[in-house]
Amino acid sequence: MDGMQMTGTPWLTTPVQLHGSRDYECGQNSTAECDYYQHYWHFWYEADHVFALPTVAFFTATILLFAAAHLLQRLFPSLSQQSPVLRRLAATTRYLSYRTFRLEALNWNSAPLGVLLLGLAGTLYFMCMTLVPQPYYWPVSTTLNYWGGSPPLATRSGWLSLGCMPFVFLTAGKSNFITAITGISHERLQVFHRWISYAFFVTALFHTFPFIVYSIRTHQMVMQWNTNLDYWTGVVALLAQAWLTFASMSPLRNMSYEWFKFSHFVAALVFAVFLFIHCAYTLTSWDYFIVTGLFFALSWLHRQTRVWAEHGVHRARLSMATDGFIRVKIPTKAVWHIGQHFFVRFMSTGVHALTIHPFTACSLPSQGGQESELILYIRPREGLTSRLAKQAVSYPERAVRVLLDGPYGGIDMHDLQQCGRQLIIAGGSGAGWLLPMISACLRTNDQLSTTKKGVERTSLRVVLATREAATCHWFEETVREILNEHGRDSLPENIDIELYYTGAPSGNSELDASEHGKVSNDLEKVPGRKQELPKSGSDSISQRSSDSRISHQRGRPNLPALMLEENSGMNAQDAQLGVFVCGTLSMQSDVSTAVAAAQVSAMQGSKRSIHLHMEHFSWA
């Protein structure tokens, strides 16, 4: 920016202005030179309008497009089934939302194809806006700063970068306007938060390097660094931004999540302060800080209001479940639905009380406005969860103070209710996520049996794959407890549960009870190789528990085969199958690929539709 020639802190002078001046008087030697400088893509004094505002418009238009689709779905839920064209459009949208690509060697899944296409559109936008306009540098002149001290490449990339800033902070918040108007939960926005941050950082680099090149060419580098505040404030902001960008990558983040959160907030504060000083009040630069600050403040205030006004301080009781998980029971009047999670702050964990962690609700709220019991199952690891496990072992059922923030995310209840047949799949750590689905189905059965006899009930097929025998035993025991709460001795005819034990064979056809209570410190890993479904009577598995609707099997479930079986087994041509998954990356890849493939027949005219919801172990 031309402000690079100033020294000191001009925004501290009086009067402080919100916007910089646009007054310009051409000082070039000819009319042609003046026209060249004031060209649409060159003119420094209108660069914010030419580059920053279109960036805001690009992101805003994308958000409004998804908001319109969400609104139509809410106002006209059955609209997509009313005509072949709309059914094909809905199937195409689902295909783009479900199709992913996997690199087995890296245990990595790509974002869905539709999200990748959005990323490609953004990449093309920033590349074209940065690299297509010419020139990159002003023509060489014998007069120093003849055209101004800000190279055109630096000017446009700087404003493109600043246009990203409000959306980086907006997609980072748990409570945000994007989720409110599009229905896309905050954890699913994390991929956009990262990608916009990459664009933010890369365009900042494109803003920085031309100044370095220009200063070296004109032999001003040492002088500018020693006298120009904007140079070193820009460097400090860029270093903080680099940390924010690269330290957020999953390998580094997973080394110490609590350190990541702390350093992320500190680096964000340093970045915002130094970038604010760096930008001064150049043209409309402060507008972007005001909007960013407003988004952040509203998100923070909304969360704090929920934490203290809606929830308040709760008393949680910790104990160890039979599978080695920490069971947390929190009496509360909060309301949540299936698959939602709460951010929980445990106040009795020393320095860990400064951190807040997300945990999925493994129970349903009570009906009739009564006090509910929020149940969480937490796998012990390091840091906070290790501290909680020690407390649960040393002082079982001891009450500890907790703060709740939520609920967030979860399964779209409209989609859930529209699916007459539901296939629910989980791996290892996702076992607790299955329980509210079973409870909800039993609750619905009870309501239909008393109010709407004869109405067809939703049928569930629950598949749990785990390499720990203890998890199988614990899950079956917990299901029995849920059945007892509903006055039942066994599962109803519309619920089937299949437990797949993927651990090492013990030589016994029964699950090895000696493994009961063992805990793994790793997430459930599912081998990448595919395996045929075990056949009845084969040596590999198969037995029935005391409940005839719960089966135990050895080996990994063939998820594509399960999907094909469920899809072809739907009776009605216009039936909807709901597939809900919480598991490892390989499990998610198998299911999402199979569901995406099933959308092809819907695009060709089939009335059958399949809805997919995936719950991730890790959001980013």
Q: What does the pLDDT read at residue 149?
A: 77
Mean pLDDT of the chain: 84
Residues 196-211: tens digit of each pLDDT: 999 999 999 999 999 9
Residues 228-239: tens digit of each pLDDT: 888 999 999 999
Q: What does the pLDDT read at residue 574?
A: 54
- Quickly state the pLDDT bin for 541 (edges 50, 70, 90): very low
Q: What does the pLDDT read at residue 540?
A: 39
Whole-angstrom Cα distance, residue 93 to residue 473?
40
Long-range CB pairs of 165-170 (<8 Å, 24+ gap) are 165/200, 165/288, 165/289, 165/292, 166/56, 166/288, 166/291, 166/292, 166/295, 167/59, 167/196, 168/193, 168/196, 168/197, 168/200, 169/292, 169/295, 169/296, 170/295
Structure tokens at 401: 């103070």
Give residue 359's Cα distance to chain centre. 14
Whole-angstrom Cα distance, residue 442 to residue 367?
13
Q: What does the pLDDT read at residue 247?
A: 87
Three-point CA angle 78, 80, 83, nearest 5°: 110
Residue 477 reports pLDDT greater than 80: yes
Whole-angstrom Cα distance, residue 241 to residue 247?
10
3 state DSSP class of 329:
strand
Q: What does the pLDDT read at residue 419?
A: 84
- Quickly state the pLDDT bin for 543 (edges 50, 70, 90): very low
- Does residue 519 contact residue 483 with C-beta atoms inside 8 Å? no
With a CB cutoff of 8 Å and minimum separation 6, the contacts of 195 are: 119, 122
How large is the average pLDDT for residues 161-172? 96
Residues facing residue 499 across a β-bridge: 464, 552
Structure tokens at 569: 């087994």
- Does residue 422 contact residue 384 with C-beta atoms inside 8 Å? no
Q: For the whole model, what pTM was predicted?
A: 0.87
Q: 134 — alpha (psi -120 to 50), left (phi > 0) or beta? A: beta
* Bigger pLDDT: 161 vs 143: 161
With a CB cutoff of 8 Å and minimum separation 6, the contacts of 55 are: 125, 129, 159, 160, 163, 164
Q: What percent of the chain has pLDDT over 90?
A: 49
**Residue 328: count of CB within 10 angstroms of its CB:** 22
Three-point CA angle 133, 144, 231, nearest 5°: 70
- Does residue 230 contact residue 9 with C-beta atoms inside 8 Å? no
DSSP letters for 477-526: HHHHHHHHHTT-SS--TTEEEEEEE-S---S-SS--GGGTT---SS----
* Bigger pLDDT: 444 vs 497: 497
**CA dist list (Å): 489 to 117, 484, 485:** 50, 7, 10
- Does residue 165 contact residue 237 with C-beta atoms inside 8 Å? no
Residue 100 reports pLDDT greater than 60: yes
For 98-156, list the strands marked E by DSSP: 102-103, 108-109
- Does residue 384 contact residue 355 with C-beta atoms inside 8 Å? yes
Q: Tell me which range, 47-61, 366-380, 525-539, is most confidently predicted by mean pLDDT.
A: 47-61
Lowest mean pLDDT among 7-11, 132-136, 224-228, 296-300: 7-11
User: Domains in the chain, start-ordered, CATH in brackets?
Assistant: 50-227+281-304 (no CATH), 312-409 (2.40.30.230), 413-616 (3.40.50.80)
* Bigger pLDDT: 362 vs 570: 362
Whole-angstrom Cα distance, residue 193 to residue 178?
12
Lowest mean pLDDT among 137-146, 471-480, 589-598: 137-146
Q: What does the pLDDT read at residue 26?
A: 82
3 state DSSP class of 405:
strand
Residues 27-44: tens digit of each pLDDT: 766 788 888 888 899 899
**Residue 596: count of CB within 10 angstroms of its CB:** 20
Q: What does the pLDDT read at residue 75?
A: 83
Residue 295 reports pLDDT greater than 90: yes
Lowest mean pLDDT among 34-43, 407-416, 519-528, 564-573: 519-528
- Quickly state the pLDDT bin for 428 (edges 50, 70, 90): confident
Q: What does the pLDDT read at residue 512?
A: 41
Lowest mean pLDDT among 70-84, 244-258, 264-278: 70-84
Q: What does the pLDDT read at residue 608?
A: 76
Q: Give the H or E element holding residue 53.
A: helix 53-75
Whole-angstrom Cα distance, residue 500 to residue 382?
28
- Quickly state the pLDDT bin for 572 (edges 50, 70, 90): low
- Quickly state the pLDDT bin for 145 (edges 50, 70, 90): low
* Bigger pLDDT: 94 vs 12: 94
Q: Considering Cα of 498, then 499, then 501, then 507, what sign does the dihedral take?
A: negative
**Residue 138: count of CB within 10 angstroms of its CB:** 18
Q: What does the pLDDT read at residue 11?
A: 63
Q: What is the CA radius of gyration of the chain?
A: 29
